[in-house]
């Protein structure tokens, strides 16, 4: 199907008040920067909870173009913060699968209660807002068939997947019952500048990038043949921008995806080649990781193309090269 014609994002967002929750994190900060470049009046809300990826350096150079409010979206302050914003990009959340298994009630609080707080605040104080929620393909669990499409059953394999699924469906419910215009984008493995690289609990690829730059040995678990797809952060940001200005996605769940799946061995070999440093070895799965591994998994973005005219454009090698260059130039802001 031919995708719909897209309005000019600059014309749509210029002067428009928008809110980005989780806006000091990886994807949120890249989105906030893009929206500011489009002329939007951007407010970022972030709790800066230690270890969750928020980093003031992520908005470096945008101090006079993006307002920042350090607040927890679970608190009563969110009632005030959502008011007056035409579009709310909801990226606040806990994304570590391992942390969710070790601290399930914290994950429940952040990925469920916080989402209800935002939606209730909008229902009562800003019912005309458009909401775009950041979900994850992790909620599909082990694939029944590939590529994953939006009709695939959801059977998450960890607490994080269950709670993210609930957060997603709160948004769809409030769209259907209360008339809030809300949609959900199910992200696959996103990578690029400003992702957390201090530890491996949130994104394995971020940790691999750090190890390659430091010329360390990267561990590949299993046989290295598990296939995944990867989406460069600029492509993901473009999907959010389009979803925020497209009514056709209201009440819908939409997959994002990478250009093509790649196995872990080829991914790491490409990263090491791009970086010019690093090495790897293949080892058995650690038991806690094996218990929640989902094998091969990659997504179809056909619906995103149909409704948003979106497709990933940045090739993996190019995206990895940009990522390595960014961290080599800004190492001090991300290594400590």
- Which phi and psi angles does 66 have, rounded to 5°? -130, 125
For residue 52, is pLDDT > 80? no
Contact 319, 260 (CB under 8 A): no
Which residue stretches of the chain are H helix? 9-13, 26-37, 78-81, 97-102, 104-108, 114-125, 159-178, 204-213, 233-243, 264-275, 287-290, 302-308, 316-329, 331-335
Say which residue the tokens 């390595």 belong to.
Answer: 324
For residue 1, is pLDDT > 60? no
For residue 176, is pLDDT > 90? yes
Residue 222 pLDDT: 86
Distance CA 32, CA 29 (A): 5
Task: Report pLDDT digits (tens) over 82-121.
Answer: 999 999 999 998 777 777 788 888 888 888 999 999 999 9
The pTM of this model reads 0.95
Residue 186 pLDDT: 98
Which is more confidently placed, 160 or 75? 160
When pLDDT is averaged across residues 53-72 and rounded to a whole number, the result is 94
Task: Report pLDDT digits (tens) over 260-316.
Answer: 999 999 999 999 999 999 999 999 887 776 666 778 999 999 999 999 999 999 999
Spell out the domains of the chain, with CATH numbers in brackets. Answer: 9-335 (3.40.50.720)
């Amino acid at each position: 199907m031919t995708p719909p014609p897209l309005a000019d994002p600059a014309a749509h967002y210029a002067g428009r008040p928008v809110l980005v929750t989780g806006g000091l994190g990886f994807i949120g900060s890249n989105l906030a920067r893009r929206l500011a470049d489009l002329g939007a009046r951007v407010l970022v809300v972030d709790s800066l909870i230690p270890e969750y990826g928020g980093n003031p350096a992520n908005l470096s150079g945008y101090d006079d173009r993006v307002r920042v409010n350090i607040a927890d979206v679970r608190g009563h302050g969110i009632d005030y913060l959502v008011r007056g914003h035409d579009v709310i990009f909801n990226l606040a959340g806990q994304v570590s699968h391992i942390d969710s298994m070790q601290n399930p009630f914290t994950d429940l609080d952040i990925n469920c209660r916080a989402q209800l707080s935002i939606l209730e605040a909008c229902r009562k104080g800003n019912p005309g807002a458009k909401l775009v929620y950041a979900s994850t393909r992790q909620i599909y669990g082990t694939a029944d068939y590939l590529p994953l499409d939006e009709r695939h059953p959801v059977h998450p394999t960890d607490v994080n997947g269950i709670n993210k699924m609930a957060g997603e469906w709160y948004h769809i419910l409030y769209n259907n019952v209360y008339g809030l215009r809300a949609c959900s984008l199910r992200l696959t493995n996103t990578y690029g500048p400003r992702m957390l690289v201090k530890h491996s609990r949130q994104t394995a690829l971020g940790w691999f990038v750090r190890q390659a730059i430091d010329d360390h040995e990267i561990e590949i678990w299993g046989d290295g043949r598990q296939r995944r797809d990867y989406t460069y952060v600029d492509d993901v940001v473009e999907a959010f921008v389009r979803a925020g200005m497209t009514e056709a996605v209201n009440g819908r769940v939409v997959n994002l995806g990478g250009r093509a799946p790649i196995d872990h061995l080829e991914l790491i070999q490409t990263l090491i080649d791009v970086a010019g440093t690093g090495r790897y070895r293949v080892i058995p799965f650690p038991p806690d990781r094996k218990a929640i591994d989902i094998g091969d998994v990659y997504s179809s973005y056909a619906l995103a193309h149909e409704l948003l005219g979106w497709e990933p454009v940045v090739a993996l090698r190019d995206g990895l090269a940009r990522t390595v260059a960014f961290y080599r130039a800004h190492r001090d802001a991300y290594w400590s």
